[in-house]
């Protein structure tokens, strides 16, 4: 069992490496495009909300960029994993591979890209008035929770989409709607009180807020809230693994 698991982990690492190398060769900018894309999004939202509508504070660019890169990591994973099993139907028809491998590849591929952008962001922020401090030691725990949440939801959607193809279509609309109450454009203080529950009970919004608390405001996040989000994310991961295991042998017939 341990040997098989080690082989599956090695397979995931190999497939992630292959995807990274393939993407770097597809564009002239290569890895620099990973940073350029979120910068362009920040520029657009900054013009729209800060310049035209006069919303946001002095640190709005930093606030916005941190929210956008975490959201992009999360949403890209969900969209790409939703049909990752179906896209591998030729391979699945020829050889047995545990189906959790395919969404795992997409998630860890996106995670590697995110970590590069995040590290660069932290370095830049440290030079413009947001120096490193001891509370940064909490960041790995927060980001690990984002990873667990992302893996859990990715496994669930990856498991369901081959059986119910409309799930991917609905997911795209859901993510567009979920973007706004996820605390990316504004903090909960800038939202009408009657809508606070949309942010307060949104795990993505909570995790983005925790990262901002540490980096921008040099404060310790609410650890009780973090523990609740971590437990909830772990439950989703367990559910995703159960679904993939339950339908593991079914996918070869339905895709």
Q: Where are the domains of the chain?
A: 2-254
Which single residue is written with the structure tokens 């709005």?
60
Q: What is the pLDDT of residue 137?
A: 97
What is the length of the chain?
255
How far is Cα 88 from Cα 116, in angstroms, rounded to an integer?
28
How far is Cα 208 from Cα 181, in angstroms, rounded to an integer?
12
Q: What is the pLDDT of residue 42?
A: 81
> Any alpha helices (H) in 87-222, and if so which ranges?
89-94, 101-127, 139-160, 166-179, 196-200, 203-215
Q: Which residues does 120 contact at the CB level (< 8 Å), separation at least 6?
A: 35
- Half-sphere exposure at residue 162, Cβ-oriented, CA atoms within 13 angstroms: 26
What are the φ and ψ backbone dihedral angles of 130, each rounded to 5 degrees? -125, 70
Q: Is-contact 73 114, C-beta < 8 A?
A: yes
Burial of 234: CB neighbours in 10 Å, binned 0-12, 13-18, 19+:
middle
Q: Is-contact 102 84, C-beta < 8 A?
A: yes
Summarised one tens digit per residue, pLDDT across range 124-152 is 999 998 999 999 999 999 999 999 999 99
Q: What is the pLDDT of residue 233?
A: 98
Lowest-confidence pick of 6-10, 31-35, 156-160, 182-186: 31-35
Q: Which DSSP state fits 217? A: S
Tell me the whole-structure pTM to 2 decimals: 0.92
The closest alpha carbon to 184, from 207, 201, 217, belongs to: 207
pLDDT at 230 over 90: yes
């Amino acid at each position: 069992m341990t040997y098989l698991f080690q082989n599956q982990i090695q397979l995931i690492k190999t497939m992630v490496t292959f995807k990274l190398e393939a993407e770097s060769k597809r564009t002239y900018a290569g890895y620099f495009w990973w940073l350029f894309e979120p910068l362009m999004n920040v520029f657009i939202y900054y013009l729209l909300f800060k310049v035209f509508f006069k919303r946001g504070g002095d640190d709005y660019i930093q606030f916005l960029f941190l929210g956008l890169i975490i959201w992009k990591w999360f949403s890209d994973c969900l969209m790409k994993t939703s049909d990752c099993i179906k896209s591998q139907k030729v391979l699945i028809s020829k050889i047995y591979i545990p189906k959790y491998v395919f969404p795992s590849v997409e998630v860890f591929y996106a995670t590697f890209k995110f970590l590069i952008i995040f590290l660069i962001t932290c370095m830049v922020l440290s030079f413009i008035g947001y120096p490193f401090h001891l509370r940064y030691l909490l960041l790995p725990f927060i980001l690990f929770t984002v990873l667990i949440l992302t893996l859990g939801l990715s496994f669930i959607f990856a498991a369901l989409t081959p059986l119910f193809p409309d799930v991917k279509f609905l997911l795209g609309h859901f993510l567009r709607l979920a973007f706004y109450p996820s605390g990316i454009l504004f903090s909960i203080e800038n939202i009408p009180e009657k809508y606070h529950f949309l942010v307060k009970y949104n795990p993505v919004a909570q995790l983005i807020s925790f990262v901002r608390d540490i980096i921008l405001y040099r404060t310790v996040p609410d650890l009780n809230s973090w523990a609740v989000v971590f437990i909830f994310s772990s439950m989703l991961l367990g559910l995703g693994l159960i679904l993939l295991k339950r339908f593991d042998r079914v996918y070869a017939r339905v895709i």
